[in-house]
Structure 1
Amino acid sequence: MTNAVATHGADTRRHKVTVDVHLLLTDGEQVLLGRRAGTGYADGAFHPPSGHLEEGESVVAALIREAEEEVGVRIDPEDVEFAHVMHNSSTGGRVAYFFRVRRWNGEVTNREPHKCDQLSWFPLDALPDDMIEYCRAALDSIDKGVEFSVFGW
C-alpha cells in the first residue's frame, strides 16, 4: 500500500484545480473585451476581464476584486449574475465561472496595460474573430441558455 492510499482503501490524492472568474460586463447587448498583450498566452486575442480565485475568496469576491484591478469598476455583489460554468481541459483542468454584470460604479479603464493593449465593446452577436477558443465556446453556450459545459476533454 502506498502512502497515497488510506487504510479504508480510498485514494487520498486530490486533483487541485485552478478556478477562473470571467467578467461579462454588459452595456445593453454589448460586452467588454480586452485584447491580450505581453502575457505569453494568446497575445492578440480578445477575452473578457478575468482572473484566478485566491485562497479564502469566494468566486463572487474574486470577480469583484478582478473587476477593480483590471478595468477600474466597482461592483455590488447583488449585481453579479451567474451565467455559466465550464470545466476546461487547459493546463491540466480548470473550472471557469462566467458572471454577467449590467450595473457598476466607475469608468471602465485599462488598469493593466502591460497585459491588455485595448479594451473594446462588442455586440454579443458580433464578437471578434480572434478570441480565446474556450471563451468563445462559453459565450456561445450562454447565448443558447446553457449554464454548464465541458471544453477540450
Structure 2
Amino acid sequence: MILLTNMMSLLVTDIRTSIITLTIGYIVYKLAKFYYLRSKLPPGPHPVPLMGNLLLFKSKDHWDVVFRQLAKKYGPVFTFWFGTTPQLIITDTEMAREAFRKNDMAGRPESYFGAILSNEKYKDVAFTDYGHTWEALRRVSHSALQYVLN
C-alpha cells in the first residue's frame, strides 16, 4: 500500500512538473515569436503584452496628437500595436499616396479594434478591406488630400 501511495504522489508530481514546464515553454515560444516579428517591423513604441500600445491613448490628448508625437519620435512610418496586432502607421502624405497606389497595401485584416474604430455603418478608408467600397473611399480621400494640399 505504501508503495502504491509513493507511486501516486510521484506521478502527480511528474504531471504537475510537466504542466508547468509546458506552460513556461509556451510562454517563451510566444515571446520569442513576438520579438522576432517586432524586429522585422519599422520602429515604434514598445508594446505591453496583450494590450499593445493602447495605454498611449490614456492621456487627454486626441489620438491625432498622440500619433503626431510618435511620428516626431519614430519617423513618418512606425509600428503601432492594437492589442497583439501590429499596424503600420504612415504619417507622411507623399508616402501615403505611394502606398495607396499599390494593391499590396490595399487589404486590411479583420480586427476587433478596427471594428471599434470604424463603425460598420460608416466605414472609412483606413479599416475597409480592398474592394469597391475601398476604391470609392480612396478616391474621395485622395481628392480631399489634393484639395487640402493645394
TM over 0.5: no
Q: Greater strand percent: which structure? A: 1
Q: Greater helix percent: which structure? A: 2
TM-score range, shorter chain: under 0.3
Normalization by structure 1: what TM-score? 0.24
Q: Which has the larger radius of gyration?
A: 2
Normalization by structure 2: what TM-score? 0.25
Higher RCO structure, 1 or 2 (CA under 8 Å, sep 6+): 1
